[in-house]
Amino acid sequence: MNISKDQISSQNKSLLKSHKDDLDFLREKLSGKKIDAEKIITDLAAFQVAIPSWALGAGGTRFGRFSIGGEPRTLEEKLDDIGILHALTRSAGAISLHIPWDIPKDTKAIKERAASHGIAFDAMNSNTFQDQAGQQHSYKFGSLCHTDNKTRKQAVDHNIEVIGCGKKLGSKSLTVWLADGSNFPGQNNFRVALLNVLDSLKEIYKALPTDWKMFIEYKCYEPNFYSSVIPDWGTSFTLANELGPKAFTLVDLGHHLPNANIEQVVSTLMTFGKLGGFHFNDSKYGDDDLTVGSIKPYQLFLIFQELVWGLKNNARNNPSPAWMIDASHNVKDPLEDLLQSLEAIKIAYAQALLADQERLAEAQQNNDPAMAQEVLQEAFRTDVRPLLHEARVKSSAAIDPIGLFRKLEIRRQLIKERGQKTVATGL
């Protein structure tokens, strides 16, 4: 199903008066502080976040999975769902595919379908954390780290196939996340496992086209509970440096030990030009994959504060990190959840854009932590939503995306089209 421009503008019309009042109030407040509201609105409208193909169905846990109904059954339907998100927000203009879940049967038709929704192909994700039907060697004891070189080669070849698939679609990057690790002390040799991974990554890197990037995603634990071969940003960063200029670290917000200072990790990676990509989500305990900004919005703002500063001031940083959501939700409508995540990302971005960097630098120079906190919290406590709304009005998107999603009864229509018991590929 498609959402028409008329449906969007008619909803916007009913909200326009109150939106204009809010925006005028905020504009005046910002101009008093010499903040260029128009520039922030332009930056917000331009900011696009890739939607992962695996987040469009209801997520499961190891205890169960409850379908939401009307879930996309094919890659075509996944593109249509992202088309809905993009029409409502003009902020979801890319998809991140997962192979083998999303192998296109007809590449040309898939590209046309994506183009009709204004969707580009962001990073390709390989999968060596599951065994596929008919697969010769098992990944039960690892993939790129495996003690058996035939298994390692199979995992390397899979990644090279994923690159080939992405080349046909117009993607420019490969994300490698490994479940490789161990559950028990002594199960594997840390050094052998790490060097095997490095050797395997070198083989994949050789197959990477010159204009491609490789993102190495780390994760502290799960599915292995004693050790992960790439547990942290330091290991990922070291591997990326060993591989070369096309390799980068990817930060997933849920892949750290509790209380890790992720904003500092972001800053360090940017300082050395190795922040390649970002997986947004939120968590209370571990890799919970909850809606972005639902648990720790201040942390999200502080991360964006580092991103905005790094993108503007740090010449060594990779100028265009890949922004992606990596979430999974089992009680919300996945599309509503993604709309909330997109909103939270843009709110944090807008707040970081209006933070007074000069006053902050001055407070830091004067060793004045109270003033530094004043500057940061002044930005964080500003209600920037009118700026997001205006960015959407200017892009012909909905002022209130979830309101319109509900008003148009989109989920009910998807269930009617696809059925109640459909289950999308994913975890």
Provide the binding-site residues for Mn ion, judged by CB under 5 A.
252, 279, 326
* Nearer residue to Mn ion within complex by CB, 253 or 391: 253
Shortest Å, Cβ 262 to Mn ion: 13
Residues with Cβ within 8 Å of 108's Cβ and at least 6 positions away in sequence, in order, are: none
* Nearer residue to Mn ion within complex by CB, 80 or 252: 252
* Nearer residue to Mn ion within complex by CB, 109 or 257: 257
As a whole number of angstroms, the distance between CA 355 and CA 308 comes to: 10
* Nearer residue to Mn ion within complex by CB, 124 or 404: 124
As a whole number of angstroms, the distance between CA 233 and CA 215 comes to: 12
Residues with Cβ within 8 Å of 38's Cβ and at least 6 positions away in sequence, in order, are: none
Alpha-carbon Rg of the chain, whole angstroms? Answer: 22
* Nearer residue to Mn ion within complex by CB, 70 or 254: 254
Whether residue 216 contacts residue 180, with contact meaning beta carbons closer than 8 Å, is answered with no
As a whole number of angstroms, the distance between CA 51 and CA 279 comes to: 10
Shortest Å, Cβ 279 to Mn ion: 4
As a whole number of angstroms, the distance between CA 211 and CA 207 comes to: 12
* Nearer residue to Mn ion within complex by CB, 81 or 252: 252
As a whole number of angstroms, the distance between CA 269 and CA 249 comes to: 8
* Nearer residue to Mn ion within complex by CB, 88 or 178: 178
> CA neighbours within 13 Å on the CB side: how many for 74?
9
Shortest Å, Cβ 152 to Mn ion: 23
Shortest Å, Cβ 173 to Mn ion: 14
User: Amino acid identity of 426?
Assistant: G
Shortest Å, Cβ 61 to Mn ion: 17
Shortest Å, Cβ 216 to Mn ion: 12
* Nearer residue to Mn ion within complex by CB, 92 or 250: 250
Shortest Å, Cβ 339 to Mn ion: 20
For the packed helices 369-380 and 297-313, what is the interaxial angle rounded to 10 degrees? 100
Query: How far out from the chain centre does Cα 73 lie?
Result: 22
Percentage helix, strand, coil, to 5, in the chain?
50, 10, 40
As a whole number of angstroms, the distance between CA 423 and CA 93 comes to: 24
* Nearer residue to Mn ion within complex by CB, 252 or 390: 252
As a whole number of angstroms, the distance between CA 196 and CA 181 comes to: 12
* Nearer residue to Mn ion within complex by CB, 220 or 387: 220
Task: Tally Cβ neighbours within 10 Å of residue 64.
Answer: 7
Q: Which residue from 214, 224, 296, 216 is spatially nearest to 262, judged by alpha carbons?
A: 296
Shortest Å, Cβ 215 to Mn ion: 10
Shortest Å, Cβ 376 to Mn ion: 27
Q: Which residue from 119, 48, 87 is spatially nearest to 396, judged by alpha carbons?
A: 87
Q: Which two structure tokens, joined as six digits, stand for 152? A: 């390692």
* Nearer residue to Mn ion within complex by CB, 23 or 344: 344
Shortest Å, Cβ 270 to Mn ion: 19
As a whole number of angstroms, the distance between CA 318 and CA 329 comes to: 31
Shortest Å, Cβ 287 to Mn ion: 8
What is the secondary structure of 285-339 as a DSSP string?
A: SSS--BPTTSS-HHHHHHHHHHHHHHHHH-TTS-S-PEEEE----SSS-HHHHHH
